[in-house]
Amino acid sequence: MLLLERGVTVTYETIRCWCGKFGAACAQCAKAARRKPGSTWHLDEMFVTLRGDAYLLWRAVDEHGAELDVHG
């Protein structure tokens, strides 16, 4: 059930405090749950032209299909 449905008003300052209090613990849990990257990595590259400017987009993917890094 949403907080608004219960009549609870939450400010941006409250959310900022929650992020400061619980954010590091959530990030630590997410990092622990993420599987280790595979030993074989692939690099996908693509050139795209937008409004006359060329851009290189790429992503690194391991053998399980998990994205390791993206740049674009």
* pLDDT score recorded for residue 53: 93
* pLDDT score recorded for residue 44: 85
Number of domain units in the chain: 2
Q: pLDDT tens digit string along 9-65?
A: 888 998 899 999 999 998 888 888 777 777 888 888 899 999 999 999 988 888 888
* pLDDT score recorded for residue 71: 78
Same domain, 25 and 56: no
Same domain, 50 and 64: yes
β-sheet bridge partners, residue 41? 62
For residues 45 and 66, what is the distance between their CA atoms, to the nearest angstrom?
Answer: 16
Same domain, 52 and 29: no
Domain carrying residue 15:
1-34
For residues 38 and 5, what is the distance between their CA atoms, to the nearest angstrom?
Answer: 44
**What CA dihedral angle connects 35, 41, 43 and 44, to 10 degrees?**
-60
Same domain, 47 and 65: yes
Please give the model's pTM, rounded to 2 decimal places: 0.44
